[in-house]
């Protein structure tokens, strides 16, 4: 994260892959020194001195022109690298920079729990509307990608929360940390009719902006796959920005032209509540942000 992260990491559980890696870094003393020599060797930067990149989400080290990051889910990381390679081979994404993945000398995308990509300039900034716009641009490009098997095979916290939010699966939720509010709001849920496609459902706090070049497009480091409407992915960014990023309530109306807006917001809010109510580090206090978002989203829904 940046020195001044866009959301309060002290009071919001980080459900992202970067967050999981950050937790791993905190418990693994080997990561204090960055990628070990055999990992650097595999990615062709053996002699590089690792330099931390504290302005990136999660632990990361620059090694010459590459960035090496520990990953919590090797299957997800390998899939993400492959999907970004496919997007880049198809011409990239208009108006976005993608961190180009780097394979190891033997062709692997992940080595001993580490993944590599070409370095991209930028840091996370609280430019919430720009992140929503980046989400829409990204998903115009991911529309050409097929449904990955990974979406159906995953049973991690995010996948369970996603299915619970759409009423596809009942998931045990802690009442005090979001389960009660989830149940109340779920009664106002209606099925979405927008088509689903491959979307990145966890963009908040991961999109990079280059302060040295205000005209540079935002940068995306990796993909966290869901098979949902593009409007839902945009709504997740908005809910996160309201709950954790200090976004002004006007963000709700600035994107109200998106189809089924109140209901996609509700589905996004239910998703984050289901994440929160399952997360091992969540507390009653860390629910406050989502309660704030719930009051705002609830005002848009029919009584």
* Extents of the domains making up the chain: 17-119, 124-298
Helices (H), 143-260: 149-153, 157-165, 180-186, 230-244, 251-254
- Residue among 162, 146, 138 nearest 79 (CA): 146
Residue 180 burial (10 A CB sphere; 0-12, 13-18, 19+): middle
**Beta-strand runs (E) in the chain:** 51-52, 61-63, 66-70, 97-98, 101-102, 110-111, 114-118, 123-124, 197-200, 208-209, 219-220, 225-228
Separation CA 267–CA 256 (nearest Å): 15
Encode 25-38: b = buried (16+ Cβ within 10 Å), e = exposed.
beeeeebeebbeee
Are the C-beta atoms of residues 230 and 261 closer than 8 Å to each other? no
* Residue 22, pLDDT score: 43
Percent of the chain having pLDDT more than 90?
88
- Which numeric CATH code is attached to 124-298? 3.90.1200
* Residue 5, pLDDT score: 29
pLDDT tens, position by position, 63-99? 999 999 999 999 999 999 999 999 999 999 999 999 9
The structure's pTM equals 0.90
Which tokens go with 290?
């989502």
Mean pLDDT of 115-132: 98
CATH class of the domain comprising 17-119: alpha beta
Average pLDDT, the chain: 92
Mean pLDDT of 140-167: 97
* Residue 152, pLDDT score: 95
Query: Would you say residue 16 has pLDDT above 50?
Result: no
Are the C-beta atoms of residues 194 and 46 closer than 8 Å to each other? no
pLDDT tens, position by position, 219-246? 999 999 999 999 999 999 999 999 999 9
In angstroms, the first-to-last Cα distance of the chain is: 39
* Residue 2, pLDDT score: 29
Are the C-beta atoms of residues 219 and 207 closer than 8 Å to each other? yes
Mean pLDDT of 7-21: 44
* Residue 33, pLDDT score: 80
Mean pLDDT of 99-120: 98
Query: Would you say residue 11 has pLDDT above 50?
Result: no
- Residue among 7, 108, 106, 60 nearest 222 (CA): 60
């Amino acid at each position: 994260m940046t020195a001044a992260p866009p959301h309060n990491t002290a009071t919001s559980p980080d459900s992202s892959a970067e967050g999981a890696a950050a937790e791993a870094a905190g418990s693994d003393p080997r990561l204090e020194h960055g990628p070990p020599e055999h990992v650097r060797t595999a990615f062709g930067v053996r002699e590089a001195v690792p330099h931390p990149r504290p302005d990136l989400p999660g632990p990361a080290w620059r090694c010459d022109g590459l960035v090496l990051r520990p990953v919590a889910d090797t299957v997800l990381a390998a899939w993400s690298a492959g999907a970004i390679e496919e997007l880049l081979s198809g011409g990239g994404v208009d108006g976005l920079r993608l961190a180009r993945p780097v394979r190891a000398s033997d062709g692997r995308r992940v080595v001993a729990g580490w993944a590599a990509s070409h370095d991209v300039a930028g840091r996370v900034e609280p430019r919430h509307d720009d992140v929503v716009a980046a989400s829409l641009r990204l998903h115009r490009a991911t529309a050409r990608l097929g449904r990955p098997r990974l979406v159906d095979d995953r049973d991690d916290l995010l996948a369970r929360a996603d299915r619970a939010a759409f009423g596809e699966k009942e998931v045990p939720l802690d009442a005090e940390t979001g389960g009660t509010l989830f149940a109340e709001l779920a009664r106002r849920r209606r099925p979405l009719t927008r088509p689903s496609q491959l979307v990145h459902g966890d963009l908040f706090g991961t999109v990079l902006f280059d302060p040295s070049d205000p005209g540079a497009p935002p940068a995306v480091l990796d993909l966290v796959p869901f098979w949902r409407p593009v409007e839902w992915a945009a709504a997740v960014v908005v809910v996160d920005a309201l709950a954790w990023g200090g976004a002004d309530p006007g963000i709700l109306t600035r994107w109200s032209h998106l189809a089924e807006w109140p209901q996609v917001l509700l589905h996004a809010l239910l998703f984050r509540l289901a994440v929160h109510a399952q997360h091992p580090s969540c507390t009653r206090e860390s629910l406050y942000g989502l309660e704030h978002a719930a009051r705002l989203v609830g005002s848009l829904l029919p009584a």
